[in-house]
Structure 1
Amino acid sequence: MSATSVVSPIQAGTWAIDPAHSTVGFSVKHLMVSKVRGKFDTFSGTITVAQDGTPSVAAEIDVTSINTGNDQRDGHIRSADFFDAEKYPKATFVSTGVRPDGDDYVLTGDFTLKGVTKPVELELEFNGVNPGMGHGPVAGFEAKTVINRKDFGIDIEMPLEGGGVVVGDKITITLEIEAGLQA
């Protein structure tokens, strides 16, 4: 953790991401005028809070589980043109620190996609803790970051006849996470 790390607002222990109540989504500019949105159907992760309150996050995304609502597009994104999912089926995130940012936080970490690891910063909002529904407490978070696909070796060029490109370079990743405290 960095020198500006914070004490977690959730109790010590391991909190597992609940994929049934969480979403890992993204959006990217399409044809320079609109956005394609999608999500990953399979992912996992934990938030580990040490006894001193220092949090850390580790997560994994199955990139083969991409779902944009269009099977043909999803197949193309899995191909070597984009994710090369046969060779690189997982994306990972491992936190390196967290710091306050007003009422919210900035979560820093190393993101690996298509075999390339780069540092990223996520704007993080803590939504609170609920006692849960008989299975222990749950905590909620929302996070967002913007990455450049070319930084991760996804450098396909698809120019348009009149100028511009089919797919933008900037990808907005959005996370809506519910995590449950493990016994």
Structure 2
Amino acid sequence: MTAATDTALTAGTWAIDPVHSTIGFSIRHLMVSKVRGTFDDFSGTITVSDDGTASVAAEIAVASVNTRNEQRDTHLRAADFFDTEKFPVATFTSTGVRTEGNRYALDGEFTLKGRTQPITLDLEFIGTNPGMGHGEVAGFEASVVLNRKDFGIDFEAPLETGGTVVGDKVTITLEIEALKQA
């Protein structure tokens, strides 16, 4: 068995493989637990120039939200939350990558529900592998905590005992496998 190698990405374009990748999120629910979900329809590319400079562009079909509860997912697609009829796609475009110890900070512009904000993802490069006959693959894990209100998701449902049904902070986690394009 060949382990992942910890070498730099080679120059070229790497396509995010949605079959072997996950975009997940979690948010506080009823002040005591968390609801977790995924976005099941997304795409993106990582482009590495000859000098090693990397850039990332990605799109998420927001209507593909999946919390394993159809009633909740329908509400999330509505105007109270994502308003997917008016804003069907969220996008991320990187503006830079910085080294922070043995990890990276991936800076970029994230657009959700028509609002663009600068964000920084905490990024770990897992490594590369020759793949299984379809070409070289690379692996990454990343996370960021966003405030939903920064993106116009202002739904409020106060609880009788204080607090709200839904928290403001959303943790986004990405597990990405990308395939080197020929």
Query: What is the TM-score normalised by the length of structure 2?
Result: 0.96
The aligned counterpart of 2:3 is: none
CA distance in 1: counterparts of 2:72 and 2:107, whole angstroms: 31
CA distance in 1: counterparts of 2:134 and 2:11, whole angstroms: 17
RMSD of equivalent CA atoms: 0.8
The aligned counterpart of 2:4 is: none
The aligned counterpart of 1:177 is: 176
The aligned counterpart of 1:65 is: 64
CA distance in 1: counterparts of 2:63 and 2:8, whole angstroms: 34
Q: Where in structure 2 are the equivalents of 1:37-52 lying within 5 Å?
A: 37-52=36-51
Letter of the 2:54 counterpart: P
The aligned counterpart of 2:121 is: 122
1:82 to partner: Cα distance? 0.2
Instruction: Classify the secondary structure of the residue corresponding to 2:79.
Output: coil
The aligned counterpart of 1:160 is: 159
The aligned counterpart of 1:85 is: 84
CA distance in 2: counterparts of 1:96 and 1:47, whole angstroms: 12
The aligned counterpart of 1:35 is: 34
CA distance in 1: counterparts of 2:40 and 2:127, whole angstroms: 24
| Percentage of pairs with the same residue | 72
1:156 to partner: Cα distance? 1.0
Matched, 1:54 2:49: no
CA distance in 1: counterparts of 2:92 and 2:8, whole angstroms: 21
The aligned counterpart of 2:23 is: 24
CA distance in 2: counterparts of 1:9 and 1:78, whole angstroms: 39
Gap regions ≥5 residues in structure 2: 1-6
1:105 to partner: Cα distance? 0.3
CA distance in 2: counterparts of 1:78 and 1:95, whole angstroms: 26
1:170 to partner: Cα distance? 0.3
The aligned counterpart of 2:149 is: 150
CA distance in 2: counterparts of 1:59 and 1:36, whole angstroms: 24
CA distance in 1: counterparts of 2:89 and 2:162, whole angstroms: 33
Letter of the 2:131 counterpart: G
Task: Give a deviation string over 1:117-147, Cα, whole Å, max 9, x none.
Answer: 0000000000000000011100000000000
Task: Give a deviation string over 1:135-168, Cα, whole Å, max 9, x none.
Answer: 1100000000000000000011110011000000
Q: Where in structure 2 are the equivalents of 1:3-18 lying within 5 Å?
A: 9-18=8-17
Gap regions ≥5 residues in structure 1: 1-7
Which contiguous aligned blocks of 4+ residues in structure 1 show a shift greater than 3 angstroms? none
CA distance in 2: counterparts of 1:114 and 1:55, whole angstroms: 27
Kindly tell me the number of residue pairs found equivalent between the two proteins. 176
Instruction: Classify the secondary structure of the residue corresponding to 2:72.
Output: helix
